[in-house]
Amino acid sequence: MILFAALLVNANWIQVGQVNRLKKEPTNARQITERLERQRGGIIAGDEELAISVPVDDEYKYQRQYPAGQLYANVTGYYTLFTAAGLERSEDVFLSGDDDRLLASRVTDLFTGEERRGGTVVTTIVPRLQQVATEALAGRKGAVVALDPRTGAILAMVTSPTYDPNTLASHDESAATDSYQGLSTDKNQPLLNRPAQQTYPPGSTFKLITAAAALSSGRYEPDTRVPAPDELTLPQSTTVLPNFDGETCGDGETDTLIHALTISCNTAFGELGIELGDDAVRAQAEAFGFNSTIEDFPLQQARSIFPNDLDGAQTAQSAIGQFNVQATPLQMAEVAAAIGNGGVRMKPYLVSELRGPDTKRISRTEPTVLSKPITPEVAAKLTTMMQSVVTSGTGRKAQISGVNVAGKTGTAEHGDGEDPHAWFVGFAPASAPEVAVAVIVEDGGGELGTGGAVAAPVAQKVMQAALDTQR
């Protein structure tokens, strides 16, 4: 009787107490069959289908397909026999048709005899920009992010190298497993969504934040002269901070803040960081989003970092985006977008609408203000300084005929014996921005390569395409 009682308790515990855990178990064959027998909703961008479910003649009724292959893989993610990633994961409940907002559709299906279907996720991605950004990277390892600075909508999000999610969505378990194993162990990390998941030293693009802190302090103006020696001996150290390629800034002793940014003078901004102090620079970085993540963002993201408890030498290095400062391309696109938007930082978003199986709109994303890291006056001054970078400084290759462009280049060191990363961030048109971008080309700053020579042309093509598309 004791054993029968134990069996009864155990059976009830499994069927009641553990039902939710067992139901969500990835290897639960019944769950796999149930979800793959249902027509999953699509993921679209404009008029282009990024992910669809098509009928198949095998043990499952529908096969997930990605018509554009690699082009949107880091956005859509993948939906496999056992797991999911990207939007396929974050929007799974809606795509599968289980979302409470689709209850009316499910009730209707009961009366009409229709099978349950999932809803459609409409992204903010502009297909033309995604294509142009991918082609501009030309297979080089790196990332591109394009935002609408007025709303925060993500217009393009490109990572390289990437992968074909169709190989992971195969109903052949062995083939799908082999594909995943190959991708997950690839040293180039094609499964990594570099725009949001990978942090890099931002290099001289971070000088925008240091300049913002200086202007916000009320002690500096764009034409204020600041110390700018050919070499800066770091405090409590014998280490010397040089300028790029040993160049001289200004008269060799001082330079104006605007010209120091235009030519990307290391010593001027290192000295400026020391003068402001690490707390002031950190506070400005955090106002732009460092040391935090975006709440409810649908893709996995890494936290951009401005370190704590810096001494004078570390503060000088951090003020030029080195030492232990780390940023995602998405974070640096946010910095550029906030400056271009008059000092207002909008929340980046990737999903613009959710639609029911009948194509009727269920919900729409409304632009949200995240913070106001700088005043409109400081934003205007920074914009003028960034225009100088593009018209007569290190960012000349970002110029667009007939359009004023604001930007900042960066060439970021990241390891002994490694070529530096090449960066560019900016927005256009400078007076009323319609697009903000961040570009990084990993190890792209070797030999004569710099952020201005390597990353700026990529950004120029994306900004030009964005302006052409919106007009």
**pLDDT of 131-147, one tens digit each?**
999 999 999 999 999 99
Which residues 6+ apart lie within 8 Å of 240 measured at CB?
231, 232, 233, 234
| pLDDT recorded at residue 113 | 62
| pLDDT recorded at residue 17 | 76
Cα distance between residue 340 and residue 429, in whole Å: 9
Catalytic entry in 53, 105, 179, 204? 204
Q: Answer for the pair 312, 235: CB distance below 8 angstroms, yes or no.
A: yes
- Beta bridge mates, 146: 156, 437
| pLDDT recorded at residue 31 | 61
Least confident of 137-146, 231-240, 306-315, 327-336: 231-240
- Beta bridge mates, 423: 410, 440
Pair of tokens at residue 177: 């497993």
Reduced to 3 states (helix: H, G, I; strand: E, B; else coil), residue 269 is: helix
Q: What is the pTM of this model?
A: 0.91
- Beta bridge mates, 426: 407, 437
Helix residue ranges per DSSP H, 19-85: 19-24, 29-36, 73-76
Q: Answer for the pair 285, 266: CB distance below 8 angstroms, yes or no.
A: no
| pLDDT recorded at residue 50 | 98
- pLDDT greater at residue 339 or residue 57: 339
pLDDT band at 109 (very low <50, low <70, confident <90, very high): low
Cα distance between residue 46 and residue 176, in whole Å: 29
* 453 CA to centre of own chain: 22
Q: What are phi and psi of 368, to 5 degrees?
A: -130, 135
Least confident of 112-126, 275-289, 419-433: 112-126
The mean per-residue pLDDT over the stretch 196-209 comes to 98
The mean per-residue pLDDT over the stretch 61-81 comes to 95
The mean per-residue pLDDT over the stretch 230-239 comes to 90
Flag whether pLDDT at 314 surpasses 80: yes
pLDDT band at 90 (very low <50, low <70, confident <90, very high): very high
* Kind plus residue range of the DSSP H or E element containing 283: helix 278-288
| pLDDT recorded at residue 86 | 97
* Kind plus residue range of the DSSP H or E element containing 435: strand 435-441
- pLDDT greater at residue 466 or residue 12: 466
| pLDDT recorded at residue 82 | 84
Residue-wise pLDDT tens digits, 3-56: 998 998 888 888 777 766 766 555 555 666 666 778 899 999 999 999 999 999
Least confident of 108-112, 143-147, 155-159, 306-310: 108-112
pLDDT band at 245 (very low <50, low <70, confident <90, very high): confident
Which residues 6+ apart lie within 8 Å of 134 measured at CB?
71, 144, 158, 160
Reduced to 3 states (helix: H, G, I; strand: E, B; else coil), residue 298 is: coil
* DSSP structure string for 80-134: -SS-B-THHHHTHHHHHT--GGGHHHHHHHHHHTPPPBPPEEEE---HHHHHHHH
Q: Answer for the pair 261, 385: CB distance below 8 angstroms, yes or no.
A: yes
- pLDDT greater at residue 113 or residue 125: 125
Pair of tokens at residue 268: 């001027």
- Burial string for 66-101 (b: 16+ CB within 10 Å, else e) reads bebebbbbbbbbbbbbeebbbbbbbbbebbbbbbee
To the nearest whole percent, how much of the chain has pLDDT over 70? 94
The mean per-residue pLDDT over the stretch 333-346 comes to 98
Q: Look up tokens 């999953």; give the residue.
A: 40
The mean per-residue pLDDT over the stretch 98-112 comes to 74
CA distances 12 to 18, 27, 260, 458, Å, are: 9, 22, 73, 61
pLDDT band at 416 (very low <50, low <70, confident <90, very high): confident
The closest of 145, 141, 144 to 190, measured between CA atoms, is 141
204 is catalytic: yes
Q: What are phi and psi of 136, to 5 degrees?
A: -70, -35
Flag whether pLDDT at 468 surpasses 70: yes
DSSP category for residue 165 = G
Mean pLDDT rounded to a whole number for the chain: 93
The closest of 40, 34, 68 to 54, measured between CA atoms, is 40
Q: Is 24 exposed, middle or buried (0-12, 13-18, 19+ CB in 10 A)?
A: exposed
- Beta bridge mates, 354: 121, 363
Flag whether pLDDT at 231 surpasses 90: yes
| pLDDT recorded at residue 127 | 97
- Beta bridge mates, 305: 326
Q: What are phi and psi of 99, to 5 degrees?
A: -65, 140
The mean per-residue pLDDT over the stretch 54-77 comes to 94
Q: Answer for the pair 427, 390: CB distance below 8 angstroms, yes or no.
A: no
- pLDDT greater at residue 112 or residue 179: 179
